[in-house]
Amino acid sequence: MINPVLRRGGFLPHPRIVPQALIIAMLAMAAITLTACQERGAQSAAQTSADTSPPVATVNGVPITRDFFEFYVKGITGGKSSTDLPAEQRDAALDNLIRAQLVAQQAEKDGVVRDAETQHLLEISRLNVLQSIVAERYLKDRQPTEQELRAEYETQVARAPHTEYHARHILVATEPYAKKLIEQLDHGANFADVAKRESMDSSKDNGGDLGWFTPDHMVKSFADAVVRLKPGEYTHEPVHTEYGWHIIELEATRDLSPPPFDSVRQRLVEIVKQNKFRAYEDELMQKAKIDRKAARPT
């Protein structure tokens, strides 16, 4: 089982910085898609840029240039050029771009690109790509120091759960029915047997056994109820969540040890870089003229 420290919010960076190798293909396909948004008709994204390389194909008169094709191949192969690929793979890559260009042109004909939702999706893609590129460039000369990594490790360890719980539960649709089952448990019914017979959850086949977990991986009301129990106890009042009404029995607890520093070093590098870029974004926010309107529709 993966140590929960590695799956906590602090180890999930925000905003996500996508490495250059992972955004190349995204950029390429975004450019193909954005072709359809050009008011000038069937004019490719490559034609509107400084790309003057010869075409490797034309699609209804729209060129797919050599540089653009190599850019796409680099993205989908992790840095290889088209000459490094077998002919079959090279042809398949070009076929992908041709098909994408055809679909983009058809989208223009069908009016898809003028839909509001399509425009929103394209704009979100553009913002994500630009944010990733700016982040990578900004962080190029701002690599985390050993001291920064150690400090972040201590921060993450302090935030992480220190106890893991092993519990069972019974899930039913209504509070009154949950209370009836609690009465059965109070009179000596076996928790696992009742779970197998009555629970709506898939864990019923295992007697309601949820295995080991940390509270941060459960719905808050469920987690709050678990941490109040002692091993061998069950909730004497039903616990409500979005899934229904729960009766929870705590089997055992155990201490969690943080992962060794070296085993999470790369993850820490990512987090520190995220924090640095977030600080840069904060600077931009402070310098910008921002007029916030109510986010909720009036």
Which ranges of the chain does DSSP label H, i.e. alpha helix? 20-35, 66-77, 87-110, 116-139, 146-159, 175-186, 191-198, 220-228, 265-287
Per-residue confidence band for 9, with pLDDT thresholds at 50, 70 and 90: very low
User: 272-292: per-residue pLDDT in tens?
Assistant: 999 999 999 999 999 999 998
User: Could you tell me if 62 and 179 lie in one domain?
Assistant: no
Per-residue confidence band for 4, with pLDDT thresholds at 50, 70 and 90: very low
226 located within any domain: yes
Give the type of residue at 284: L
pLDDT at 239 exceeding the cut of 90: yes
| pTM for this entry | 0.66
User: Could you tell me if 20 and 135 lie in one domain?
Assistant: yes
User: 136-167: per-residue pLDDT in tens?
Assistant: 999 999 999 999 999 999 999 999 999 999 99
Domain count within the chain: 2
51 located within any domain: yes
pLDDT of residue 49: 59
CATH number of the domain to which 168 belongs: 3.10.50.40
Instruction: List, in sequence order, every residue forming a beta bridge with 255; answer none if it has no partner.
Output: 163
In 3D space, the residue among 64, 26, 22, 20 whose CA is nearest the CA of residue 42 turns out to be 64
User: Could you tell me if 188 and 251 lie in one domain?
Assistant: yes
pLDDT at 215 exceeding the cut of 80: yes
145 located within any domain: no
Give the type of residue at 263: S
User: Could you tell me if 49 and 124 lie in one domain?
Assistant: yes
Residue 39, exposed/middle/buried by CB under 10 A (0-12, 13-18, 19+)?
Answer: exposed
User: Could you tell me if 97 and 21 lie in one domain?
Assistant: yes
Give the separation between CA 177 and CA 181, rounded to whole angstroms: 6
Instruction: List the domain range (segments joined by +) for residue 172.
Output: 161-255
Instruction: List, in sequence order, every residue forming a beta bridge with 172; answer none if it has no partner.
Output: 245
User: Could you tell me if 129 and 214 lie in one domain?
Assistant: no
149 located within any domain: no
68 located within any domain: yes
